[in-house]
Chain A
Amino acid sequence: MPTRMLTDSVASGQEGLTIGPVTVRRGRKVVLDEVRCGPLRPGEVAGLLGPNGSGKSTLLRMVAGLLPAAGRAELDGLDLSGLSAARRGVFCAYMPQAPLPQLMLGVGEMLEAAARVAGVPAARVADLLGRLGLENFARRPVGALSGGQRQLVALALALIREPRILLLDEPLSALDLRHQLRVMEIVARETRMRGMVTIIVLHDLTMALRHTDHVVLLKGGRVFGEGVPEDVITRDSLSALWGVCARVTTDGVIVDGLADMPAGEESD
């Protein structure tokens, strides 16, 4: 980003990522309806939460530039929606929900190819693998790694460009507890160290409460609530969004059972 633009936008108080308005329709169904959120601050991890089908992944894909013309996303006042794929890749890295395919491709080779495409020095690969504790994986084929190890490698792939916005779609699903914590720790550390804006789609509310700085709740394609996790993840929001009776304590969220949901909302 040109320095002048950066200083201008910071001076005008627009620092960070501001999303919206975003509207996405699939046939007659409105997947996202005038969604606005942010500004999400650099160095902060924002959790994107909501029940299945609430539009979390769609919103993330929109910010990543995979849904052109769906709406606006501004980084420090710069509109990202008009950028080409290559240019947007300089700012944004997106890690989809699907795991890395099991290929006969060395971890190091894969990251080097990504570095080459991005035009960043290949020396960054070794540094990145070291920071993520993956030094010993460089020569191993992606197809020979466990699910958790592959997810860490996928995270390395997203970080190779040192993006300013990191978008992670359910990176913890299908991981064991240890790998979940490892991924969250790495995400938090890299986000602070690099001053990135990170948006992470999560289902684990305790994880969101403990490891995110900001939370956006989505329901039926609209923003239900936004703010610091303690203010947003409450007994009432849990009941309204997921239809569960739960207690939010300093240790985390304890779910006691199902609550009644208003008629017609189950299908969401």
Chain B
Amino acid sequence: MAEGRYDSGDGSVAGRQHISARFSAELEAIKNALLEMGGKTESQINLATRALLNGAGDVAQEVVAMDKDINRMEVDIDEQCARIIARRQPAAFDLRLIISIAKVTTDLERIGDEATRVARMALKSSIREPVRGAESQTMAIAEHGSAMLRRALDAFARLDVDAAVRVLLSAQSAQTDYEEGMVLLQAAISNDPTSLKSCMDQIWALRSLDRVGDHACNVAEQVVYLVTAVDIRHVDEPTLVKLLDSGADT
């Protein structure tokens, strides 16, 4: 597999250390910062979901507060990327690393935004009443998105192309939950027009949680690009499967 080239015996980002140890350290640091940001968004999503389903206002507040940190981290990491490009003129893997990190921060920040949106819905609905109707679907979508994100970040940390492709292939599996949830909520509105406001909030939340998976896919695509230098955005599923199968000799 391609990542064999980047097997690091010494714990560096990619294989052997640079002559400039400081450069290696800088890359290591920026990668760790990204993973930390990813971890934070992941827990943000989980907390937001809990807040939504349990109507926990304090947890929702916490999620909203976390977004500030996430935003600051995005700006920091992007700044570091610019600094490394200006000062180090990275090439090859190093260059792809910086490009993909800069892109991944955007997706992570968006995930943070979606989590915040969910948390705001939770705040509103917690004032009125707890959500009803599509709890299990909401739960499933949230768990699915969160798991995709976690696996995509793992793949990034380990430069694991196979894992990244599997994240991409799993993107559709929450589709039925999403559609079911929508049907349920639409039915709830028809049954009880007074629940329109609450159900609309839920639909928005559902949609936000569904988007998390899309962003996780983007992260996974960057992992494939980072390791293999192949851009697999806008590639159809059979090609992805082929990539996975032919992985051994890439």
A and B associate: no
B positions within 8 Å CB-CB of A: none
Which residues of A are in contact with B by a Cβ distance under 8 Å? none
